[in-house]
Chains A and B, each alone.
Chain A
Amino acid sequence: MKKTALVFLMALAVAGVTRADRTVNETRPLAADGRVEVSNISGEVKVIGWSGDGVAITGLLEDGVEELTISSGGNHLSIEVELERRTRNGGSAYLTIKVPKAASLDIETVSANISVDGVLGELDLESVSGQVEISGEARTVEASSVSGDVIATSTAGSSELESVSGNIIVRHASGRLDASVVSGNIEIEGGALDSFDGETVSGSIFCAAGPTDRGRFTIETMSGTIEMVVAPGINAEFSIETYSGSIKNDIGPSPKRTDDYGPGRELRFTAGSGGARISIESFSGSVKLRTN
């Protein structure tokens, strides 16, 4: 009797493990320039651009995930993780999705992290608290998180990155970049940008990327600090204004007061032959220009 009970319990345990560790291994056809939509609550969505045909989906569904719904039509594929109602906050899904390189993506998660590598179409990526990470030369990128970081590497098209309290980190980018946070920080390292619009309310901005020959940078903060690392030999017109912050310039003239009797500093100068335009403005945050 005891032996029978033990076997029964073992069978239940195995069933439980199986239930908790369901794996996904699916393929679906998709046009080379098709669009893939993914919706997941918790876990991870990892998308890789590949040269293969169609879409390959692998991964793991934890207990609490009701099902993975995959539906397609024409140029479009939809992948949706549905949780059991009783465990609305409990189940995580970890998905790795290979899509044609020229595909476009529309991904929405709650706490799941999103990473996209080597997909060249239009990327629309949104998470509430997860991290969003993009690598590769997508045509356009719109990526946002509320409290997670947004990290972009080697983007080349037009990128609009947003977070509220998370950080935006951009490495070796080119093309156009818009970055906006409230209390998070913005950090731009390497690369040459045609345009960069960066704004924070209380977060700091660190910019160690240069403008292209006719590049336009507009960098604004309310109370955060702005630090820009300027490459030797840069050709740019600088315009820097602050209401009550300080300006420190290691590469040219000193700032002037805008009012003899009140706060306000401004600094305008041309480095080299000009060409690019860099405008920096703060309310109370300090601004610093320095060389490497």
Chain B
Amino acid sequence: MKTFDCDQVLSMIDDLVDEALDEHDRTSARSHLEACPSCRAEFQAATRLQAATRSLPRSTEPERDLWPGIAHRIEDRRVVRGEFERPPAVRPRRWWMAAAAAAILVVSVSLAYRAGLERGWPQTAATAPVESFYVRAAYGGPGTGLESARDQLRSSLDDRRDELSPETWSVVMENLLVIDNAIARIETAMADNPNDGRLNRQLATAYRQQINLLQRATRLPAEV
């Protein structure tokens, strides 16, 4: 049996909780958890998060149009840039909490998507203002290039809805939602780490993918 140290076990906790490890790694990791209270606590926190996430509805038909309220909350969810003093490092920050917040946001976005879809358009977190130095550099920042391009493309695509088959429309909408969820999760992470270059890069990539998909969808040949 392999022997894992704390770093190795922590790096595979997600897979351990998801039961995605092979048998040897799972046995070794569990052996480490039995002897290590710190890693065990992380594992238990991850297990609780997974249980909480699974209890969230995967697909919910809203009883009423929830979008206005969600839009208001998303609008308020701007990333605030600035210098922050790190709190005393008494214990590791519970990044699971941020992950849980992201999971809840994803569900909120999904609800918004469903609500918007009934009216013809997924209204999602990606309609929120953009605030990231990579995104600003790439697209010109909030209120300028990116948002304008996105709005124009959405409008163009909306005009073409009757030309696309329901199946194609559904694929495009579902994948825009996948990207929007990704954007929401990155932005949640950036709330804790606003100057993380990696997150900024990934956010810029996600916005590029969103624009690319919108561009492709608006250029598709008519099906109907």
Question: Do the beta carbons of B178 and A182 come within 8 Å of each other?
Answer: yes
B167 at the binding interface (Cβ < 8 Å)? yes
Which of B5, B14, B189, B223 is A246 in contact with, Cβ under 8 Å? B14
Question: Do the beta carbons of B178 and A220 come within 8 Å of each other?
Answer: no
Closest CB-CB distance, A187 to chain B, in whole Å?
19
With A128-B168, A128-B221, A201-B182 as contacts: A243 and B213 at CB distance below 8 Å: no
A256 at the binding interface (Cβ < 8 Å)? yes
With A182-B175, A183-B174, A248-B11 as contacts: A263 and B182 at CB distance below 8 Å: no
Which of A39, A183, A286 is B175 in contact with, Cβ under 8 Å? A183
Of B70-78, B89-97, B116-124, B150-158, the one contacting chain A is: B89-97
A78 at the binding interface (Cβ < 8 Å)? no
Closest CB-CB distance, B49 to chain A, in whole Å?
11
CB-CB under 8 A from A264, the residues of chain B are 198
CB-CB under 8 A from A286, the residues of chain B are 14-15, 20
Cα distance, A41 to B185, chains bound together (Å):
38
Question: Do the beta carbons of A88 and B95 come within 8 Å of each other?
Answer: no
B12 at the binding interface (Cβ < 8 Å)? yes
B55 at the binding interface (Cβ < 8 Å)? no
CB-CB under 8 A from A23, the residues of chain B are none
CB-CB under 8 A from A146, the residues of chain B are 168, 171-172, 216-217, 220
Which of B12, B89, B175, B220 is A165 in contact with, Cβ under 8 Å? B175
Main secondary structure of the interface of A (DSSP, over half): loop
CB-CB under 8 A from B167, the residues of chain A are 129, 147
A245 at the binding interface (Cβ < 8 Å)? yes
CB-CB under 8 A from B5, the residues of chain A are 254
Closest CB-CB distance, A16 to chain B, in whole Å?
26
Question: Do the beta carbons of B11 and A246 come within 8 Å of each other?
Answer: yes
Of B33-41, B133-141, B199-207, the one contacting chain A is: B199-207
A residues lining the B interface (CB < 8 Å): 39, 41, 88-89, 108-111, 128-129, 144, 146-147, 162, 164-165, 180, 182-183, 199, 201-202, 220, 222-223, 241, 243-248, 254-257, 260-265, 281, 283-284, 286
Known contacts A201-B209, A283-B186; 14 additional CB pairs below 8 A are A39-B221, A146-B171, A146-B217, A147-B168, A164-B172, A165-B171, A201-B182, A243-B189, A246-B14, A248-B11, A254-B5, A261-B89, A264-B198, A281-B201
B residues lining the A interface (CB < 8 Å): 5, 7-8, 10-15, 20, 86, 89, 92-93, 95, 99, 165, 167-168, 171-172, 174-175, 178-179, 182, 185-186, 189, 192-193, 196, 198-199, 201-202, 205-206, 209, 212-213, 216-217, 220-221, 223-224
What are 14 of the A-B contact pairs (CB < 8 Å)? A128-B220, A129-B165, A129-B168, A164-B172, A164-B213, A201-B178, A202-B178, A202-B182, A244-B14, A247-B11, A263-B95, A264-B198, A265-B11, A281-B198
